[in-house]
Amino acid sequence: MMVNAVVSELKEYVEGVIETHGGNPGDLIQILREIQDNRNYLSPQTLRDVAEELGLSSGYVLGVAEFYSFFYTTQKGRYHILFSDSITDRMLGKEALMMRLCERLGIAVGETRRDGRVSVDNTSCTGVCDQGPAILVNGYPLTRLTVKRIDRIVSLVEQNVPLDQWPEGYFTVADNIRRKGLLLDGVFEPGVALQTALQKGQDAILGEIRRSGLKGRGGAGFNTAMKWEYCRQESGEHFVVCNADEGEPGTFKDRVLLQSYAHQVIEGMTLCAFVIGARRGFIYLRSEYRYLLEALQGVLEQRHRSNLLGNSILESDDLNFDIQIHLGAGAYICGEESALIESLEGKRGIPRNRPPYPVSHGYLGQPTVVNNVETFAAAANIGLKGGDWFAAVGTPKSSGTKILSISGDCAHPGIYEFPYGVTIEHILQQCGAEEILGVQVGGPSGTFISEQETHRCLGFDDLATGGSFMVFNKERDVLEIVRNFTHFFAHESCGFCTPCRVGTSLIKDQIDKICAGHGSAGDLAQVTQLAGLVKNASHCGLGQTAPNVVLDTLERFPECYEHRLKELSFEPGFDLDDALEISRQMTGRDDAGAHLEQGGI
């Protein structure tokens, strides 16, 4: 009877949540998020109830729940602690701090304590690498961890102190802006760019964006005016999507733009809506930035009150536009625009076949512009100050500025805005980096350059980046960096295509073997071949760029790999005799013939 009451209470609760979403299966991810926030995890019964209510199969709903790292199908602690496992967190001592926390709480990594109080695990970069090592506690970031802070966290957890009573400032994330330029320096009055746009008209504003030479700031660098123009030419309902899923390890500039420059970003989206004729837009906010949600919703409400969102914006019948925030659930691949759209539609974030592109077949198969947070912020400023103002800075092929997230071995990590064309050497001087081994420009999917290449320039024609700029000094072990990145890609591969799903795992295993001192010249040859294969045969950008760090470092630092190799020409990747232990136990055999090295099998 008790069990039945619990089951029917759960069902009623699920029905209530789904009702608030109008029973829309496209809201599946938001529905699962809400239920999990309330119930701690997604039990098999919950998933069945959700499936039934939405008219979906249980397998489909389970598939979606298991795709995203921030959905849990097993119980988590009331304090769920996730350690950011970016390479820069590791360089700041994350591993030792995590071990200390686990030891003192009497728990292993990946476990929930028997009393249900606490669970601890790793997660990919949380977007605060300038203030690491960092953790998320129930989704709220706590930065600059030290031994003292870890010990304090242990006592707060053991005393069951609610998060809103933890010491003041624990969950404050500073902007940490070190250098301002075109976008971060100016005073931006909400609505002024829209007023200008309404006076000039759609064509004139598109002309300004074209004249500015603005290219997408997410890294791919597609011409923004061209994207908007292609989209507006298509018939159907138009959508504007802001890609705020900055998951590239070492990138955190969107965090600052969303936290302190949200009006610019939203005004840029509204400007785009004006140009392409969209009435609806979405901000796809990465799960790690969940803590920014309420503030962002506050900005949307404020803009509604000021008649900068909603119907007849600034009294114009030509501009009706509203924005919803869609919270992601932890999947790096959703930074890829077609995977992001799939996720917006309530599905697993599997990249679509392209063409057709989102400009013609995007959200719900309709024409959609997807742009990065920084691109929209730049567009708002261009709408106000004109294309020439923007194009006067930077280089002919890379106009304007780039906001960098600088982390790693430098005296002043943080946010820097530089004109395109700046040399790497100048950036290193500004952030206080010395005796460098190399720089990872553009995150793990970008380019690893050595100290001999600091004359190179930031720009689409040389070193393009979505914003990540990780500095490594001469004390660092290249292979540890490669190991961290290869683990990241193997974890984040969506599994859709074989070259990436299998290849990223095999590369990770080979690098682990080499790092452990068991690699041979044969392994090196194999990993090189694999890297080429994954790069050339993968379906989307993730697989196509995942091997970059292996190939870049093999080219620039071959000696680092060679020093770790064994003399042997070959050693198997795993111990076959050890792998047969389970079979021996099952059959109850342990005689000589059941052991590989004794020649029995």
**C-alpha angle 318/239/382, rounded to 5°?**
65
The CB-of-342 to ligand SF4 minimum distance in angstroms stands at 11
The CB-of-501 to ligand SF4 minimum distance in angstroms stands at 5
Cis-peptide, bond into residue 355, ω within 30° of zero: yes
Choose one: 60-68, 214-222, 430-438, 538-546; the region binding ligand SF4 (CB under 6 A).
538-546
Of residues 350 and 449, the one with the C-beta less far from ligand SF4:
350
Helix/strand/coil percent split, the chain, to 5: 50, 15, 35
Of residues 297 and 544, the one with the C-beta less far from ligand SF4:
544
Q: Confirm or reject binding of residue 501 to ligand SF4 (CB under 6 A).
A: yes
The CB-of-249 to ligand SF4 minimum distance in angstroms stands at 16
Of residues 46 and 538, the one with the C-beta less far from ligand SF4:
538
Choose one: 119-127, 289-297, 512-520, 535-543; the region binding ligand SF4 (CB under 6 A).
535-543
CA 578 to chain centre: 37
Q: Confirm or reject binding of residue 224 to ligand SF4 (CB under 6 A).
A: no
Q: Which residue has the tokens 């697989």?
A: 543
Of 260, 181, 238, 225, the residue nearest 375 (C-alpha): 225
Choose one: 90-98, 298-306, 468-476, 492-500; the region binding ligand SF4 (CB under 6 A).
492-500
Of residues 141 and 335, the one with the C-beta less far from ligand SF4:
335
Of 445, 272, 473, 276, the residue nearest 371 (C-alpha): 272
Task: Give the pair of three-digit tokens for residue 270.
Answer: 């509204």
The CB-of-538 to ligand SF4 minimum distance in angstroms stands at 4
The CB-of-494 to ligand SF4 minimum distance in angstroms stands at 3
Measured N-to-C along each axis, helices 478-492 and 498-515 cross at an angle, to the nearest 10 degrees, of 150
Q: Report the greatest alpha carbon distance in the chain.
A: 88
| Binding mask of the shown chain, residues 282 to 311, with x at each position contacting ligand SF4 by CB under 6 A | ------------------------------
Question: Which of residues 50, 197, 266, 540 is near ligand SF4 by CB under 6 A?
Answer: 540
Q: Confirm or reject binding of residue 543 to ligand SF4 (CB under 6 A).
A: yes
The CB-of-338 to ligand SF4 minimum distance in angstroms stands at 10
Alpha helices, H only, 387-520: 387-391, 424-431, 478-492, 498-515
Q: Confirm or reject binding of residue 493 to ligand SF4 (CB under 6 A).
A: yes
Q: How far is CA 469 from CA 131, 164, 272, 323, 399, in A?
A: 14, 34, 29, 31, 19
- Give residue 101's identity as a one-letter amino acid code: L
Choose one: 11-19, 206-214, 537-545, 578-586; the region binding ligand SF4 (CB under 6 A).
537-545
For residue 318, give every residue at least 6 positions away whose Cβ sits within 8 Å of its Cβ, in sequence order, or none. Answer: 198, 202, 274
Site residue total, ligand SF4 (CB under 6 A): 14
User: Residue 544: in which H helix or E strand, if any?
Assistant: helix 541-545
Footprint of ligand SF4 on 30-69 (CB under 6 A): none
The CB-of-242 to ligand SF4 minimum distance in angstroms stands at 22
Question: Which of residues 500, 530, 549, 550 is near ligand SF4 by CB under 6 A?
Answer: 500
| Binding mask of the shown chain, residues 443 to 482, with x at each position contacting ligand SF4 by CB under 6 A | ----------------------------------------
Q: Which residue has the tokens 């009623």?
A: 12
Of residues 308 and 350, the one with the C-beta less far from ligand SF4:
350
- Phi, psi dihedral angles at 312 (to 5 degrees): 45, 60
Other CB atoms within a 10 A radius of the CB of residue 578 amount to 9
Footprint of ligand SF4 on 326-365 (CB under 6 A): 333, 351
Q: Confirm or reject binding of residue 94 to ligand SF4 (CB under 6 A).
A: no
Of residues 143 and 338, the one with the C-beta less far from ligand SF4:
338
Cβ–Cβ < 8 Å for 541, 336: yes
- Give residue 265's identity as a one-letter amino acid code: V
Q: What DSSP designation does 399 have?
A: B
The CB-of-546 to ligand SF4 minimum distance in angstroms stands at 7
Of 10, 91, 11, the residue nearest 408 (C-alpha): 91
Cis-peptide, bond into residue 356, ω within 30° of zero: yes
Distance CA 394, CA 400 (A): 5
Task: Give the pair of three-digit tokens for residue 346.
Answer: 């309530």
CA 76 to chain centre: 22
Q: What DSSP designation does 565 have?
A: -
The H helix count followed by the E strand count for the chain is 26, 14
Distance CA 221, CA 215 (A): 5
Of residues 176 and 338, the one with the C-beta less far from ligand SF4:
338
Choose one: 148-156, 416-424, 497-505, 559-567; the region binding ligand SF4 (CB under 6 A).
497-505
Question: Which of residues 494, 507, 514, 530 is near ligand SF4 by CB under 6 A?
Answer: 494
**C-alpha angle 34/39/41, rounded to 5°?**
90
Q: Confirm or reject binding of residue 539 to ligand SF4 (CB under 6 A).
A: yes
Other CB atoms within a 10 A radius of the CB of residue 381 amount to 22
Choose one: 41-49, 165-173, 375-383, 495-503; the region binding ligand SF4 (CB under 6 A).
495-503
Choose one: 185-193, 236-244, 522-530, 536-544; the region binding ligand SF4 (CB under 6 A).
536-544
The CB-of-29 to ligand SF4 minimum distance in angstroms stands at 18
CA atoms within 13 A on the CB side of 512: 13
Of residues 265 and 497, the one with the C-beta less far from ligand SF4:
497
Question: Which of residues 396, 495, 522, 558 is near ligand SF4 by CB under 6 A?
Answer: 495
Of residues 449 and 542, the one with the C-beta less far from ligand SF4:
542
The CB-of-257 to ligand SF4 minimum distance in angstroms stands at 26
Of residues 136 and 546, the one with the C-beta less far from ligand SF4:
546
Q: Confirm or reject binding of residue 497 to ligand SF4 (CB under 6 A).
A: yes
Task: Give the pair of three-digit tokens for residue 462.
Answer: 């040389």
User: Assign residue 243 a region: left if phi > 0, alpha if psi is -120 to 50, beta otherwise?
Assistant: beta
Interacting residue ranges for ligand SF4, rule: CB under 6 A:
333, 351, 493-497, 500-501, 538-540, 542-543
